[in-house]
């Protein structure tokens, strides 16, 4: 039996439709990865296409790795020339060869969100903008949205006209972009935007890649933004052999810039397109699929399709309503623990999904009390941990001395007596001479009033030059070993007296192992290649396949995953769908996005789905009385093991009122995914004094024990504190209620 005989009829059509534009509408669990990988094999083995002429774009490194492995199993070494990678990874490879054409050199640095915040903080200080009024994230979000629409700082200013506030953003955008270029750095949005810019201004480069990629495939097409659409369109313009795979019913990232019209209007852009529906599901029972179909059918902006399976009806969907959120959390914990003790499940078979991160607290508390092992997806990324970022900053400085953010991070790590005053003097000197911070350090003798710090600065630059010599003469393993040893970084951790010293050293060991693995798999790989690879790692790439723990995560984080047993908590109007969507200026569009999120959550379950809600729920000292979620009420009663009964027709009890601006709404404004509600209850505490602890301090909590403060952010009514607890993992809480005590 050939690999093509294992496909169903529609999958086979998707594999063999190779010429011209193709839209594969792939429902959840319909085997789209099998279709994509088999399609690659078909192109190579049956159509004689050179592997180097194939580009396959995914959205996560995890998906790319799985696709590469499957292709290798099918076609062997012949598939080695295919580009199978994320949008960002593909753009990095293209830009590395053509960086000079967009004003960079090939050793450019990629800034993560922390680097962006650090840079933005400096820019706002430079422009004398009060960060208590305008947070860094306010400007970064606006700039990201502009880049997703391919707007340069100048084009952004032209679009906003005379609007004062928007012109302030334009000022910051220009300064931000100028500083990035000066630092020889790009953020993630730049990787796409600069590649589109490269193609627009260099026809010869575009011709090269159009000839190279005669067959293009794009996975998760419903998640593409306008910039990604432009990129793919330019690449496919010559041969038009573009196959996009996606599901409009799973388009849930509008807040990140995803444009659902890219997939809904595909036939408009490619009138000759072949459209193929993949509706047979290989993951879930028919009962679960019937529930998903019933919910999503209420959306108007969608392409018609209906999931089905030959696996049978399976168990009914479990619905449970509780008096309050405490009862809900108690049930979820007890139900999972009971099934595990009976041998029905393993803990790793279970996932508990929430609309927002804030909802996890009560379930976490019950898990801690009952001893149920769990992990939270979306915690601190390995490469975002302090010790890892420090060592990566050393590597970045060695590779790219123009990266001021990296240099300033490590200039006094470990402590070497170079204070903030000296750093400010060097910064001002660099600005006057229009040179990088590191280059200014190399001219320390010209920096007035530097005094005794001059010798320490010179010692630092000499050390970096020594590391560069090591890089030129040896390999990455020797380089990182030299950095660790000569800076005495591990000794500084061990002598620092912090309780997490052992785990921090273990993290460093893991980084060294990563470097060894990189060199084994990339014999010609450079330091810049390594830094680019780790910069492109996403949170989802750290989700363990069988961790032996229950996974807690938001519905957004669950996309692309599946579990035998899924619990979706907080199925209430005002929670899910969120209050923000219910009172939006365009509620129909917002609720359709929320409904797609419900569809994603339901279709994560393979065997058993449990939906829970509470009659009342407390948020920041306020009690909310919400009706059962409309999404739950859209599921036919025949599919549930507990009848909703009278609750099915209950009206929404959250008062829905229109407000002229976010500032005069009665709820706490939050970012994408924040839970919001009406003013029922005793009100919200006013913003108090600054907490007596700061990032990096050790604190203790009455329930979670000891932990380390990761960051503190000022919200509208209170300070939001992120703490990495030694035993309970990462928690995000508000200072007024957390009552953290500095150790």
Q: Which residues are catalytic?
A: 32-33, 219-220, 250, 604
Selection from 628, 632, 588 nearest residue 610 by Cα: 632
- On whether the CB atoms of residues 558 and 600 are closer than 8 A, the answer is yes
Q: How far is CA 252 from CA 446, 553, 593, 690, in A?
A: 54, 15, 6, 36
What is the rounded distance in angstroms from the CA atom of residue 192 to the CA atom of residue 178?
A: 17
Selection from 326, 5, 376, 396 nearest residue 186 by Cα: 396
Residue with tokens 């296409």: 49
Q: How far is CA 468 from CA 342, 351, 358, 436, 480, in A?
A: 59, 46, 45, 17, 11
Give the strand order in the sheet containing 242-246: 83-86, 54-58, 215-218, 242-246, 22-26, 274-278
Residue 28 has φ and ψ, to the nearest 5°, of -55, 135
Q: How far is CA 632 from CA 295, 378, 649, in A?
A: 8, 26, 12
* Residues with Cβ within 8 Å of residue 208, at least 6 apart in sequence: none
What is the rounded distance in angstroms from the CA atom of residue 261 to the CA atom of residue 156?
A: 22
Side-chain half-sphere of 38: how many Cα atoms within 13 Å? 19
- On whether the CB atoms of residues 391 and 639 are closer than 8 A, the answer is no
Q: How far is CA 685 from CA 55, 82, 469, 619, 715, in A?
A: 54, 57, 57, 12, 12
Own/partner pairs for 647-654, CB < 8 Å, 24+ apart?
A: 647/321, 651/627, 652/573, 652/574, 652/582, 652/626, 652/627, 653/625, 653/626, 653/627, 654/573, 654/574, 654/579, 654/582, 654/624, 654/625, 654/626, 654/627, 654/678
What is the rounded distance in angstroms from the CA atom of residue 627 to the CA atom of residue 156?
A: 43
Helix (H) or strand (E) holding 92: helix 87-98
Report how far apart the first and last C-alpha atoms of the chain are (Å, whole number): 66
Residue spans of alpha helices (H) in 127-187: 136-148, 153-160, 164-182
Selection from 453, 396, 395 nearest residue 419 by Cα: 453
What is the rounded distance in angstroms from the CA atom of residue 95 to the CA atom of residue 115?
A: 20
Residue with tokens 């830094």: 531
Q: How far is CA 451 from CA 425, 455, 639, 681, 709, in A?
A: 11, 8, 77, 59, 35
Give the strand order in the sheet containing 729-734: 729-734, 719-725, 705-714, 698-701, 741-742
**Which residues sit opposite 55 in a β-bridge?**
83, 216
E strand map for 122-262: 185-187, 215-218, 242-246
CB neighbours of residue 412 within 10 Å? 16
The token pair that represents 191 in the structure block: 């990787």
- On whether the CB atoms of residues 113 and 191 are closer than 8 A, the answer is no
* Residues with Cβ within 8 Å of residue 710, at least 6 apart in sequence: 380, 695, 722, 723, 724, 730
DSSP string, 476-541: HHHHHHHHHHHHTHHHHHHTTT-TTHHHHHHHHHHHHHHHHHHHHH-TT--HHHHHHHHHT--GGG
What is the rounded distance in angstroms from the CA atom of residue 515 to the CA atom of residue 713?
A: 34
* Residues with Cβ within 8 Å of residue 497, at least 6 apart in sequence: none
């Amino acid at each position: 039996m050939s690999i093509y005989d294992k496909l169903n009829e529609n999958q086979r059509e998707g594999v063999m439709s190779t010429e011209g534009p193709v839209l594969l509408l792939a429902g959840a669990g319909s085997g789209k990865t099998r279709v994509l990988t088999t399609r690659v094999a078909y192109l190579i083995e049956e159509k004689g296409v050179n592997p180097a002429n194939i580009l396959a774009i995914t959205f996560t490194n995890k998906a790319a790795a799985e696709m590469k492995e499957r292709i290798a199993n099918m076609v062997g070494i012949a598939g080695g020339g295919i580009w199978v990678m994320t949008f960002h990874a593909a753009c990095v490879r293209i830009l590395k060869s053509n960086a000079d054409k967009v004003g960079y050199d090939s050793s450019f640095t990629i800034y993560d969100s922390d680097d962006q915040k650090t840079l933005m903080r400096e820019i706002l200080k430079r422009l004398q903008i009060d960060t208590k009024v305008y947070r860094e994230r306010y400007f970064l979000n606006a700039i990201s949205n502009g880049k997703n629409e391919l707007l340069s700082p100048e084009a952004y200013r032209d679009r906003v006209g005379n609007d004062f506030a928007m012109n302030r953003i334009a000022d910051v955008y220009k300064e931000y972009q100028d500083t990035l270029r000066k630092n020889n750095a790009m953020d993630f949005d730049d990787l796409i935007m600069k590649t589109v810019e490269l193609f627009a201004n260099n026809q010869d480069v575009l011709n090269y890649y159009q000839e190279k990629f005669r067959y293009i495939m794009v996975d998760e097409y419903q998640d593409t933004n306008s910039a990604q659409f432009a990129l793919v369109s330019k690449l496919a313009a010559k041969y038009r052999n573009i196959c996009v795979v996606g599901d409009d019913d799973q388009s849930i990232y509008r807040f990140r810039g995803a444009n659902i019209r890219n997939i809904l209007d595909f036939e408009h852009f490619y009138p000759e397109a072949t459209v193929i529906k993949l509706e047979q599901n290989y993951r879930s029972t028919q009962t679960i699929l019937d529930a998903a179909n019933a919910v999503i059918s209420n959306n108007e902006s969608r392409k018609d399709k209906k999931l089905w399976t030959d696996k049978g009806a399976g168990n009914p969907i479990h619905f449970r309503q509780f008096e309050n959120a405490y009862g809900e959390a108690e049930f979820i914990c007890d139900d999972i623990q009971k099934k595990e003790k009976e041998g029905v499940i393993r803990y790793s078979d279970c996932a508990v999904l929430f609309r927002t991160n804030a909802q996890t607290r009560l379930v976490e508390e019950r898990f801690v009390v009952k001893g149920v092992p769990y992990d939270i997806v979306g915690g601190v990324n390995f490469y975002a941990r302090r010790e890892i970022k420090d060592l990566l900053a050393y590597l970045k400085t060695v590779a790219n001395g123009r990266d001021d953010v990296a240099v300033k991070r490590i200039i006094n790590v470990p402590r070497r007596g170079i204070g903030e005053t000296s750093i400010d003097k060097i910064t001002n000197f660099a600005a006057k001479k229009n040179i990088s911070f590191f280059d200014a350090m190399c001219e320390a003798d010209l920096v007035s009033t530097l005094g005794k710090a001059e010798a320490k600065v010179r010692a630092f630059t000499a050390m970096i030059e020594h590391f560069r010599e090591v890089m030129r003469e040896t390999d990455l393993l020797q380089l990182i070993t030299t950095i660790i040893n000569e800076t005495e970084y591990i000794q500084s951790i061990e002598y620092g007296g912090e309780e997490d010293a052992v785990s921090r050293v273990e993290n460093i060991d893991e980084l060294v192992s990563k470097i060894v693995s990189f060199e084994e798999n990339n014999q010609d790989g450079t330091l810049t290649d390594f830094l680019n690879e780790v910069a492109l790692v996403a949170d989802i790439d750290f989700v363990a396949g069988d961790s032996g723990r229950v996974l807690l995560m938001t519905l957004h984080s669950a996309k692309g995953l599946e579990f035998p047993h899924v619990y979706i908590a907080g199925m209430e109007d005002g929670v899910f769908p969120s209050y923000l969507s219910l009172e939006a200026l365009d509620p129909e569009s917002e609720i359709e996005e929320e409904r797609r999120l419900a569809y994603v959550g339901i279709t994560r379950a393979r065997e058993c789905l449990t939906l829970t809600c509470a009659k009342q729920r407390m948020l920041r000292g306020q009690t909310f009385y919400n009706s059962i979620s409309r999404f739950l009420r859209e599921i036919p009663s025949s599919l549930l093991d507990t009848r909703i009964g009278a609750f099915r027709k209950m009206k929404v009890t959250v008062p829905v009122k229109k407000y002229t601006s976010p500032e005069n709404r009665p709820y706490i404004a939050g970012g994408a995914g924040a839970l919001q509600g009406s003013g029922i209850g005793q009100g919200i505490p006013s913003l108090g004094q600054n907490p007596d602890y700061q990032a990096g301090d050790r604190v203790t909590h009455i329930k979670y024990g000891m932990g380390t403060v990761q960051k503190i952010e000022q919200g509208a009514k209170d300070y939001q504190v992120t703490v990495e607890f030694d035993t309970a993992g990462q928690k995000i809480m508000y200072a007024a209620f957390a009552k953290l005590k500095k150790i």
